[in-house]
Amino acid sequence: MNNLSRLKQTTLIIGDILTLYAALILTLWLRYGNLFYAELINYHIQPFTIIFGIWIAVSYIAGLYDLKFLKNGLEFEQVFWNALIFNVALTAIFFYLIPYFGITPKTNLVIFFLVFGGINYLWRQIYNFAVGKTGAANRVLIVGSNKTAQEIMEHIQNNPQLGYQVKYWMQEGLKDIEFGHLAQIIMANNINTMVIPAHLKKDSQAAKLIYKTIVLGIEVMELSRLHEIIFHKVPLAELEEVWFLENLVNKHKIYELLSGPLEIVGALLLGIILSPLIILIAILIKFTSPGPVIFRQTRIGKHEKEFTIYKFRTMYVDAEKSGPQWANYHQDKRATWIGKILRRSHLDELPQLINILKGELSFVGPRPERPEFVVKLRKELPYYDLRHLTKPGITGWAQINYRYAASAEDAYQKLQYDIYYIKNNSPLLDFLIILRTIKFLITNHT
């Protein structure tokens, strides 16, 4: 994510926090008629601060801080009001199930819902309009034309809120008759970002022309980098081996070292908390179809080491007697009726807490694949083995951004997300993936 995107999202969060507290103060004034009753405000500020933190988290999970929603329209309206109604319901449950704070503000919640809904909706509408109408901060010159450049061009045109505007496009690249006049074109179009394919830097004549534009204050960016910023995945078709040496070697070793013990503690706590549900699922599987409760399968993990993954059995016994095949999670005739429910809710993944305790899986990482498919995919997909640089996970960047892989083409798309994750792995990214995963489990939409 670039600095402009972070600024937009930070501004949104700050604006939402301000409208939350403004709505609370206005609600108390409408209800009690005295804004200066300090004890009244203090009585409400602590519990509502906790609630507001939850509201911001829910808004993120709902996608209200995604740049794609920073434009007014039906999609924004639906997400905004659904998130607001869910937050109000969650707040009511919070106050009635946790009597510690000593308040059950039925009337206040109704007033707050109306006040905050109005204020925040107005704030969001104005902000979205301003973002769409404000001139793009990044005025772009694209050199060269291929599928990646075309994809970027179309996406920028359809999403002005991203802050990019293509001011000039040299589709012929080095053969373009205007390439020798880069400086003049940059100044004439007030361009501040030049996007080039990686191979252009290897051409000495082109490199000299591009070098001369640096004094104009131009940011020179590779096509793959802009694609990564906009789509949050790495365009494999644009990359060469040197890119991986520069971006993936010895990345995030300290974080991986520290996260291991924390994941073990987290897996233990989740196992204890969810033990009644785990036992119930085991009983249902045992008494609805013959066969073992736990399904074991060999997968490929970090550094291509094989390990046994554990899942609740969702298919009939001998479902793969004719050999391994891609699973169709929506129309798989091999699945039992309870298995379909477990797959749809992803509760079949719960036994993988054992794999986390054994150090074979993380909570977040690329999904581990079966050896039979790894052999096939490494022949068909460039750089496929790079996804084994890090420990696989129960959930991951590819899982929340792309559908279940049911073909080599799907695997290729997910690989681009996996490599993006490996390159940008951090505690914050893992936390955001977990939040998005929670949203998916609740709504079945990313």
pLDDT digits over 216-228, tens only?
888 888 999 999 9
pLDDT for the residue numbered 442: 66
State the average pLDDT over residues 231-252: 82
- Buried/exposed code over 107-135 (b: 16+ C-beta within 10 A; e: otherwise): ebbebbbebbbebbeebbeebbeebeeee
pLDDT for the residue numbered 31: 79
Distance CA 327, CA 411 (A): 13
Tally Cβ neighbours within 10 Å of residue 12.
22
- The answer, yes or no, to whether residue 185 has pLDDT greater than 60, is yes
DSSP string, 276-312: HHHHHHHHHHHHHSSS-SEEEEEEE-GGG-EEEEEEE
pLDDT digits over 35-78, tens only?
556 566 767 787 888 889 989 988 888 878 877 667 776 667 87
pLDDT for the residue numbered 39: 63
pLDDT for the residue numbered 322: 59
Q: Calculate the CA 143 to chain-centre distance.
A: 29
Distance CA 115, CA 88 (A): 12
pLDDT for the residue numbered 308: 96
Domains recognised in the chain with CATH numbers: 3-133 (no CATH), 138-231 (3.40.50.10700), 253-443 (no CATH)
Distance CA 120, CA 17 (A): 10
pLDDT for the residue numbered 327: 59
- The answer, yes or no, to whether residue 357 has pLDDT greater than 60, is yes
Pairing state of beta strands 306-312 and 294-300?
antiparallel
Percentage of the chain modeled with pLDDT above 70: 86
Percentage of the chain modeled with pLDDT above 90: 30
pLDDT digits over 296-306, tens only?
999 999 999 99
